[in-house]
Amino acid sequence: MTRNTRQRAAIRAAFEENRRPLSPAEVLESASGEVAGLGIATVYRGIKALVEEGWLVPVELPGEPDRYEPAGLGHHHHFRCRSCRRVFDLEGCVKGLRDLVPRKFRLEGHDLVLLGQCDTCARAA
């Protein structure tokens, strides 16, 4: 395996292990044990390449830098903890969206982000 391939594999493994959207800094923290000499610039480059290949997609959040997650996860939503700033996947969906939309509007999709405190931070508070 070339150095580049090893780095890329470590980045992919970070997403597969953590199973939640990650920032480049979180990827570095998770993957630095796997590959000697992995730095933040390499992680940024690796993420960019994986986005271009279609393996990763950006996760947009209110007032926050993008996180990334593997593409093709299916419809889901996100929760962001204001204390530790980690982002978690939420399963399931909400109801009643169609009733919010005026007649003559056509509803085609939605984005929902919940904000608050995760279990670890809520317990510590």
Partner 1 sequence: MIAPSLPSCADRRPTRQRTVVRAVFEEIRRPLSVFEVLEFGRRVVPRLGIATVYRHVRELVGEGQLIPVWLPGGVVRYELAGLARHHHFQCVQCHRVFDLHGAILGVEQLLPRQFRLERQELILHGHCADCVPQD
Give the interface with partner 1 as residue ranges (CB under 8 A).
Answer: 60, 62-63, 77, 79, 82, 88, 90-97, 99-102, 104-119, 122-123
Taking the complex as a whole, how short is the minimal distance between the CB of residue 30 and partner 1, in angstroms? 20
Q: How far is the CB of 95 from partner 1 (least distance, A)?
A: 4
Q: Which residues pair with 22 in a beta bridge?
A: 68
Q: How far is the CB of 82 from partner 1 (least distance, A)?
A: 7
Which is closer to partner 1, CB of 52 or CB of 111? 111
Contact 112, 96 (CB under 8 A): no
CB 100 within 8 A of CB 109: no
CA 90 centroid distance within chain = 12
Copy the structure tokens of residue 59. 């996760």
Residue 74 gets which letter from DSSP?
-
Is 3 or 110 the residue whose CB approaches partner 1 more closely?
110
Q: Which is nearer to partner 1, 16 or 95 (CB)?
A: 95
Q: In the block, which residue shows the tokens 């470590």?
A: 10
| Least spacing, CB of residue 47 vs partner 1, in Å | 18
Q: Which amino acid is at 26?
A: E
Of the two residues 6 and 85, which places its CB atom closer to partner 1 in the complex?
85
